A and B are shown apart, each in its own frame.
Chain A
Amino acid sequence: MKSKARWTRSWPLALVLAALALSACSDPNLPQNTFAPAGPVARKQADLFWPVFWVAVGVFLVVEGGIVWMAIRFRHRRDRDRFPAQIHGNSRLEVGWTILPAVVIAVIMVPTVSLIWDLARPAGAGALNVTAEGHQWWWGFRYTDEDMRTSYDQPIVTADVLVIPVGRDVSLSLESAGGLIGGGPEQADYAVIHSFWVPRLAGKQDVVPGRTNRLVLRADEPGTYWGQCAEFCGLQHAQMRFRVVALPQAEWERWVANQKRPAVTPTDPEARRGMDLFLNGVSGGGQCIACHAVGGTEAASPAGPNLTHFADPTHECFAGCIWETSDRAALEEWLRNPTQAKLGSKMPDYNLTEDEIDALVAYLYSLT
């Protein structure tokens, strides 16, 4: 009896401990933690998760607790060799435990269906429109609003990082944009299915070749939110990451103004040499501009990441966000041997000399 009493008294404590352990789950220092939402979409999704989770915990405790209790209460004892009562069933019970879960489920489905429709609503008039393009294996972002056109009359385009203003709806059109790089079967960038996911801002939306899916999201606080492709899309699916940088209004306006300008023409001779290699081809005959665009120059191919503002501080990472842009050694290694630094990368190995790599790196770092 005594141990039983102690158990009854200690279970609220156990619940408190469990709740504490769970609250540790919502650590915002984990950059892809769905339990630390930073925008209304992810928050609504998490707010729906938790009550359902607690209902599941309740069912779990009743069922598993019941089984454990029976396993102890009705276990065979040596001193008892009798048959238990042979009960074949009970229709009233059956009806009861058919209806009970149905009721629980019906209750859960009410907020579920309501949120499905809530999230499916298109963005309001003031939203920022961006087309997110999935490639094998990186993301490109094209700002399609009229007031986001550059001085050289192209839309603002970024790669690997989506920059957005804080507190404003962003309406994303999701497109699978492969198919622009030809070559042998190993080099081609195929249009396949991807899935756009920034866990702290919104749940997933697939990117399907041949159609345009939409996703509306918003960031409530300035900051960097990590995302990655969530639908298996081939060899480097795991390294198809990206980031969303949310800027306060003033910084956002400065960023837009800078993005509208054409790329800087470097004055440093090393960077000048890099620009020359970039625009006119490297010693092995390779052409960077076959795939890359740099705004305001003749380099205008949409096939690879747009490099116009490669060294802008918001462009934190490159090559599917597997390296920090500030990591010079990684950038050099990437240029030296792209298909090995990131196995199967669609950027060809042009056999650059060390000298050429230095010049190209200087050029890229000049593109603020």
Chain B
Amino acid sequence: MASVSVPRTAAGILRRPTATTGVWSWFTTVDHKKIGIMYGVAAFAFFLIGGLEALLIRAQLAGPELSVVNADQYNQLFTMHGVTMIFLFVMPMAAAFFNYLIPLQIGARDVAFPRLNAFSFWVFLLGGLFLYSSWFLGGAPNGGWFGYAPNSTTDPSVGMSFYALGLLITGIASAASAVNLAVTVINMRAPGMSLFRVPIFTWMGLVVQFLLVFSLPIITVALFQLLFDRRWDTAFFDPTRGGDPILWQHMFWLFGHPEVYILILPAFGIISEILPVFSRKPLFGYQFVVFSGIAIGFIGFGVWAHHMYAAGLGPVANTAFGISTAIIAVPTGVKIFNWMATMYGGDLRFRSPMLYVVGAIMMFVIGGLSGVMHSVVPSDYQQTDTYFIVAHFHYVIFGGGVFAFFAGLVFWWPKVFGRMLSERLAKIQFWIMLVGFNLTFGPMHVLGMQGMIRRSFTYPEALGLTFWNQMATVGSYLIAVAVLVFIANVVITQRKPKGLDDEDPWDARSLEWTTSSPPPEHNFDEIPTVHALDEFWHRKYVEDERGRVVRVPAGAAPDHDPARGGGSGHAIHLPSPSFWPLVAAIGLPVMGYGVLYSWWVLALGALVTVVGLYGWALEPSVAEEA
């Protein structure tokens, strides 16, 4: 390759890193597994921060007219709680699972673009830190995660500028990652893995990446308009100068509703993956679960104005969006019925991942039902912008999503770290979290119907909302206890010696369990050939002609062909570590500060990113052998 000589000249400043262990290796790694772990750690850290914000919110609302925080601080807290949990926790935590598992589940050595993957992570992390730096630079975003203009364009604090820039930066991370993972699933599946042998988690991952690819451009345009209105006094959302405040709402929710499915489909994938393992049955109606996921993705682009029933779009629009919102319940119901049918007649083993999965389904059903109620437009006129909505989406995203994440964490922990989390602590955490969760968000249904508005830092005693608010506050602190139990579980587990008694602790079904735990850097000594959906299970068991299961004798699995010999991992060329994705990423938040403070800083940031991209482009993906 002609370009091989170019990085040699660049090596004067940044020598090509080679280390695969040690602290520095994390900064230069392009290994999807390390990047997945970093996504997970960063997302969990943001989860803790967002959780602390939630605890402050609940402390302030523990009684009428308290002043734990003032109105200004409260508005920043609820905005940052939402932004953090959506953009800095759920999305990157899903990305952690996708990054780590998708290549393993499809039998690939890495993602399609390993350095782009590293770039995505660093951009996300730096974007999150950029957002949080606003606390020290004049105030955090304070206009809600939905940032309705013109309140967001006229607010005198600098916060909403950080919001626009921060989400633009993390949006770049999501877009790059979405393209990367979609290409990976489409192009890099192991021989024999047709689309209908792709594990269901990876399928849901693929749908999510397409949702991201199509929805992120919309919010990107909207955020640029918001930023320009704020910073350079354009008038996209100012009706006195020809703009329109409703334009923001259309664009935000045209992104924002697919975003809801971006948040929940990874959880559906985790549920659909884990439920069959502990039911000892294949996923019921695999193809219907796949297609319902795709259908949810499509219909998810056609329901956005159900966030805007009260905006005055008129009865035609409200009718249309009421009906489309109701229709989305159909594919969602199909998923739930298939999960139930998977459990039916199974041999249900309630080990900790199964507890979380069943909990997630049961909590999601509640959120789904209150969601269907939002298609009933006239009664939604009462519910919209109240705590009823807060209850609804927490049942979906916490009840469905976060419970599923914990299921995934407990289930794949041995795969990732080579150690089993304590079953006992995981179960204790589950029960505390289940009680705490329902105590927090269950009463909010009542509060909303009794007239408690969202985004309200206080309420007068006369409204009679005190009792249920107190319950919710108690519940939220129980959730905090549950999270502490999880942290204790992790700390205790990581101090245990590495190694699993059983390389297949759950009797799992998919390809990631065919390799060692943790997997070697190159994932598979030899790229597996896939013969079936649930490939790994079919290597362990066969069904006889009457559907009964017979265990395959060791060594008789179709892939275990002694003539081909076991690979040892030698002579596998993996992409080499690189500094350039990190360099390119660092330029973006610098540009962000530049937009707010100085053209010179903006130019400096752009320069850093361009240098990073050039260094990256001119460097071969695999370093020359030294």
Contacts and interface: CB of A to CB of B under 8 A. Distances in A.
A207 B384 CA distance: 14
Interface stretch (B126-134, B454-462, B486-494): B454-462
B347 A115 contact: no
Given A105-B329, A108-B326, A90 B285 contact: yes
A79 B322 CA distance: 51
B284 A67 contact: no
Interface residues of B, number: 97
B348 A206 contact: no
B622 interface: no
Contacts of B75: 235, 237
A52 B543 CA distance: 45
Contact of A119 (B150, B338, B378): B378
Interface residues of A, number: 95
A179 B312 CA distance: 22
B71 to A, nearest CB: 5
A344 B156 CA distance: 11
A45 B343 contact: no
Given A86-B282, A190-B151, A209-B245, A94 B340 contact: no
Interface in B301-355: 310-312, 314-315, 318-319, 322-323, 326-327, 329-330, 333-334, 336-338, 340-341, 343-350
A204 B150 contact: no
Contacts of A208: 245-246, 311-312
Contacts of A52: 372-373, 376, 379
Nearest to A228: B453
Interface stretch (B178-186, B214-222, B258-266, B358-366): B358-366
Interface string A224-241: 001011111111111100
Most chain B CB inside 10 Å of its own CB: which residue of A31, A34, A75: A34
Given A30-B463, A74-B348, A87-B345, A236 B71 contact: yes
Contacts of A64: 362, 365
Nearest to A33: B450
B144 interface: yes
Interface string A209-229: 111011000000000001011
Interface stretch (A157-165, A191-199, A291-299, A329-337): A191-199
Contact of B446 (A25, A94, A197): A25
Interface in A1-34: 25, 27, 29-34
A71 B358 contact: yes
A112 interface: yes
A85 B310 contact: no
Contacts of B446: 25
A50 to B, nearest CB: 9
B457 to A, nearest CB: 5
13 contacts: A45-B378, A66-B340, A75-B348, A86-B281, A89-B286, A94-B334, A98-B333, A116-B319, A197-B453, A232-B143, A235-B72, A237-B456, A238-B459
Listed from nearest, the 8 A-B pairs whose CB atoms lie closest are A32-B451, A210-B239, A203-B381, A185-B156, A83-B549, A238-B456, A213-B312, A89-B285
Given A109-B375, A237-B455, 15 more contacts: A31-B463, A33-B449, A49-B382, A67-B358, A67-B362, A70-B340, A75-B350, A84-B281, A85-B345, A88-B282, A89-B285, A192-B151, A203-B384, A210-B245, A230-B454
Interface of B: 70-72, 75, 142-144, 148, 150-151, 154-156, 239-240, 244-246, 279-282, 284-288, 310-312, 314-315, 318-319, 322-323, 326-327, 329-330, 333-334, 336-338, 340-341, 343-350, 358, 361-362, 365-366, 369-370, 372-373, 375-382, 384-386, 446, 449-460, 462-465, 541, 543, 547-549
